[in-house]
Amino acid sequence: MKDFLPVCREDMLKRNWEQVDFTFVIGDAYVDHPSFGPAIISRILESHGYRIGIIAQPDWKDEKSIDVFGEPRLGFLVSAGNMDSMVNHYSVSKKRRSKDFFTPGGEMGKRPDHATVVYCNLIRRTYKNKPIIIGGIEASLRRMAHYDYWDDCLKRSVLLDSQADILSYGMGEKSMVEIADALNSGIPVKDITFINGTVYQTKSLENLSEYITLPSYADLQSDKLNYARSFYIQYCNTDAFSGKVLAEPYDNTYVVQNPMSKPLTQEEMDSVYALPYMRTYHPCYEKAGGIDAIKEVKFSLISNRGCFGGCSFCALTFHQGRIIQTRSHRSIIDEAKEIIKDPDFKGYIHDVGGPTANFRHSSCQKQLTKGVCIHKQCLFPKPCKNLTVDHTDYLALLRKLRALPNVKKVFIRSGIRFDYIMADPDDTFFREMCRYHISGQLKVAPEHISDAVLSKMGKPENSVYKSFCKKYAKINKELGKPQYLVPYLMSSHPGSTLKEAIALAEYLRDLGYMPEQVQDFYPTPSTISTCMYYTGVDPRTMEPVYIAKNPHEKAMQRALIQYKNPKNYELVHEALVQAHRTDLIGYDKKCLIKPRNTKDINGRAKAKKKNSAPLTAAEKKYGISFEKYDSMINAAKSQSSNQNTRRKKRKR
């Protein structure tokens, strides 16, 4: 009989268990759904015969809060949750968020900052010698020395600060079972050093035959360039086939990273998603209002993992790897049928995808045996000549899903890689996507329009996005569908100066589009972009990169993308003056904002004179009274409109 895993001692006793094998401490509320990492790991271990007890969001100030099940037979598992706890808590401006979507009722403060470290230290105070295994996105991306944006410093491996014994990085299905089996067989935790996808601590490297020694933590602290070099070595060793053992020296110890676990086969992926998930949050959260995070994924289907897109600001290379892993059509269809049975299902499958929805196979055949290219990307700066571009399998899957009974529409809402679509000579997928899988708008991520910034982002040139826009418009016109593109844009990414930010604002002006949301670059752990932000160089080339670190400049770059918002006027004005672009302050249709005072007029007049461009009609006629002129024009328009309305009424 399907049921949630035990969350209290009473649940454990109902199962006639005297003891759990592993106590799983997590920073999120307990949601038993395959979109939540702790649910996958706990169900996989359960399928291998291990007894798992869940302690979700314990009170880290109370040592008794992790003693719900007593001492576990084999050890503790610890995860901060589906997000890094610091990203969960703070916006890019380091302001405390008002809501936690992974907590009952959205309540903030139910987990600590740096949750992995805090939970482990809490456990260690009571169970000094019990094995602790950490995992999840927070541990995975902090597995070696890393830059912490929130404390603005270089931090040690989370393995050391947490006092854990083993760190399982990546998705963890294979490594966690191997760790459990090793502990169950009686191998001391300090001797479990042979499992791929893990990081451990050791006093000596004499038992290693082939490895790369990274710069020591002391060297990283003394020179940021050492960190850039170290990071790029790590980046080039994230592949399961070609990756080497890495050793990072500290004062009296080493942190050793084994190569990444091999990608799951399709059969293995299918088995993961066929486990007996309850597919929702634990009923104990109902009174508090439930868990909002389930809403976006409850009626969505994960079809793949991994990404060979290689965006600089994305941590997927470090966490899931670049090799695509997919589920079979049968597995996905079976899950879709389960979704359809849900009483809350309204006929809409919200998404079919993964990190990149339209990746359904490896980028080339070589990857399946030799891994990814170490110093080359599949799509950047241009698509590789060996790239396999084929949407046939994904298209066939979508057709099967939309043919299911009681399914009204199947949406694609996870990332679509538009440059991959443009590399496909067959437009069948493009046309069917527009016809069947969009409802009014398609969200895509060009991120910027400056090629200088895009090159730092690892994104294609702006010309590719322009071509995509034209083709999208053409296909929708042929289909008779008035559908639009919603571009995701990023401000303040390394390489972006005020000049590039203004160019982006001018692009939006010409496009006639004003985004409601803008993502200011967020330096999260273990991305190339974060390394640039901290070191000031591109670790791939070691060339200097401009970094907008000043919070005020970052605010100006962000405001420029939403220059029409009255709240942003002061910031936009300051940015234009600072960048010597006062030609964009005025009443001309090419201007971004209107003038506000005499200083503006004088500044604009000088700018016009310098550029040998004539003053606007407003400046010639009304001198400095711009606000009055604007008011007069609006009043005249209103009066004219009222007169026309009265004439029409008299004619009737």
Q: Kindly report, residue by residue over 472-503, the tens digit of the pLDDT.
A: 999 999 999 999 999 999 999 999 999 999 99
- State what percent of residues in the chain have pLDDT above 90: 87
- β-strand 351-353 against 325-326: which pairing, if any? unpaired
- State what percent of residues in the chain have pLDDT above 70: 91
The answer to whether 550 touches 495, Cβ cutoff 8 Å, is no
At residue 415, the pLDDT reads 85
Q: What DSSP element (H or E) covers 190?
A: none
What mean pLDDT comes out for the span 195-210? 96
At residue 370, the pLDDT reads 86
Q: Which of 402, 572, 580 is nearest to 491 (CA)?
A: 572
Indicate the fold that domain 9-195 takes in CATH: Rossmann fold (3.40.50)
Amino acid at 95: K
Q: What DSSP element (H or E) covers 202?
A: strand 198-202
CA dihedral for 420, 426, 431, 433, sign (positive or negative): negative
138, two tokens = 């927070």
Neighbours of 330 (CB within 10 A): 10
Confidence band, pLDDT 50/70/90 cuts, at residue 226: very high
At residue 643, the pLDDT reads 52
The answer to whether 123 touches 86, Cβ cutoff 8 Å, is no
Mean pLDDT of the chain: 92
The answer to whether 136 touches 37, Cβ cutoff 8 Å, is yes
> CB under 8 Å, gap of 24 or more: what pairs does 591-600 form?
592/505, 592/506, 592/509, 592/560, 592/563, 593/563, 593/569, 594/626, 594/630, 595/626, 596/569, 596/626, 596/627, 597/624, 598/624, 600/573, 600/626
Confidence band, pLDDT 50/70/90 cuts, at residue 607: very low
Is it the case that residue 652 has pLDDT exceeding 90? no
**Least reliable range by pLDDT among 447-456, 544-553, 612-621:** 612-621
At residue 394, the pLDDT reads 98
CATH 3.30.750.210 region(s) of the chain?
A: 299-437
- β-strand 132-135 against 409-410: which pairing, if any? unpaired
CATH 3.40.50.280 region(s) of the chain?
A: 9-195
Is it the case that residue 282 has pLDDT exceeding 60? yes
Confidence band, pLDDT 50/70/90 cuts, at residue 611: very low
Q: Which of 412, 357, 421, 354 is nearest to 383 (CA)?
A: 421
Q: Distance between CA atoms of 71 and 54, rounded to whole angstroms? A: 13
Confidence band, pLDDT 50/70/90 cuts, at residue 365: confident
What mean pLDDT comes out for the span 166-182? 98
247-277 core/surface letters (b: 16 or more CB in 10 A; e: else) = bbbeeeebbbbbbbbbbbeeeebbbbbeeeb
Is it the case that residue 646 has pLDDT exceeding 80? no
Q: What DSSP element (H or E) covers 491?
A: strand 484-491
pTM: 0.89
Q: How would you write 259-283 as a 3-class SS string? A: CCCCCCCHHHHHHHHCCCCCCEECH
Confidence band, pLDDT 50/70/90 cuts, at residue 28: very high
Phi-psi region of 186 (alpha: psi -120 to 50; beta: other; left: phi over 0): left
62, two tokens = 């109370």
Q: How would you write 22-69 as a 3-class SS string? A: EEEEECCCCEECCCCHHHHHHHHHHHCCCCEEEEECCCCCCHHHHCCC
At residue 639, the pLDDT reads 54
User: How many CA atoms are closer than 13 Å to the CA of 612, on its beta-carbon side?
Assistant: 0
Q: Distance between CA atoms of 280 and 309, rounded to whole angstroms? A: 31
What mean pLDDT comes out for the span 337-342? 96
Condensed to tens digits (0 to 9), the pLDDT of residues 616-637 reads: 443 443 333 344 434 544 554 4
At residue 600, the pLDDT reads 55
At residue 500, the pLDDT reads 97
Indicate the fold that domain 299-437 takes in CATH: Transcription Regulator spoIIAA (3.30.750)
Is it the case that residue 641 has pLDDT exceeding 80? no
Is it the case that residue 283 has pLDDT exceeding 60? yes
Indicate the fold that domain 440-544 takes in CATH: Transcription Regulator spoIIAA (3.30.750)
Q: Which of 152, 29, 245 is nearest to 530 (CA)?
A: 152
Confidence band, pLDDT 50/70/90 cuts, at residue 367: confident
233, two tokens = 């070595």
Is it the case that residue 278 has pLDDT exceeding 50? yes
> How far is CA 90 from each of CA 84, 93, 162, rounded to the nearest angstrom?
10, 8, 21
At residue 620, the pLDDT reads 40
Is it the case that residue 131 has pLDDT exceeding 50? yes
